[in-house]
Structure 1
Amino acid sequence: MPQSRKKRHKRLRVLAKGYYGRASNVHSPIKQALIKRHVYNTFSRKLRKRESRALWNRTVSENVNTYSLNYSTLIHLLNSQHISLNRKILSELFVYEPKSAFSLITWAGRRLLQLPQ
C-alpha cells in the first residue's frame, strides 16, 4: 500500500476509534460508519433545536396560564404592541424574572385584563 493511501486510511481509522467490530479497523466499513455518523449528527442537531423550541413554548404556555391567558393570546398581545421578544427570551423571563414577566403581560394587555391605566 502506498504511503499516501496508508495515511488516508489511518486518518479515517483515527476518526473511527472506539467503534465496534470491523467498523474500527477495516477501511470500507469505517467509511460507511463515518458517513452514518455525519447523518446522525445532522439529524440530532436539528432535533435538538426543535426540542428546545418546544420546551420554550411549553414553559411560556404554562406560566401564562397562571395569569388566565393562553399562549396564542400572549403572542398576539406582544405583537400588537410591537414588543419583539422571541420564545427563548420569554421563557427565561418567566423562569428567572416572574415579576418582570407579569408587568410585561399587564402592560401589553391592559384592555384584555381590564386593568386601569
Structure 2
Amino acid sequence: MTNEERTEALEAPSVAVGRVDGTEGLLALHGEIDHGTASQIDEVVQRLLDEGATSLVVDFTDLTFFDSACLSSLIRAHTTITERGGTMTLTNVSRHARRVLDITGLLPLFQLTDESA
C-alpha cells in the first residue's frame, strides 16, 4: 500500500481496502469495523477472489475497534477462501484483538503473523 493509499484509507475510517499481488489478496482494516461497516469486508473479499486471489492476508495494523459483525465477516472470508483451497492469515494483530479472538474461540481458526504482508 502506498503512502497516498494509506492516507486516504486513514481519512475514511471503517473502510476495508484490498488489493491483489499475484495470487495473494491483501485486506487492510482501518478504524472501526462494526455492524455498519463489516459488510465491506465481504465485498472486498469477493472482489479479491474475482481478481484471482487464492490466499488472503488481513492486516490489523490500523484497526481500532471491531465487533461481532467483523468477526462474522472474517469467519465467512476464512470459510470461502479455505473451501477454494486457499489460506487466510491475520497480520499485525494487537494484543487486545488476539485476546478477543482467543476468548471467542476463534484464535485456532486463523494463522497469525506479526509481520506486514
Could you say which structure has the higher strand fraction? 2
Higher RCO (Cα < 8 Å, 6 or more apart): 2
Task: Mark yes or no: TM-score above 0.5.
Answer: no
For the aligned pair, the TM-score class normalised by the smaller chain equals under 0.3
Q: Could you say which structure has the larger radius of gyration?
A: 1
TM-score by length of 2: 0.22
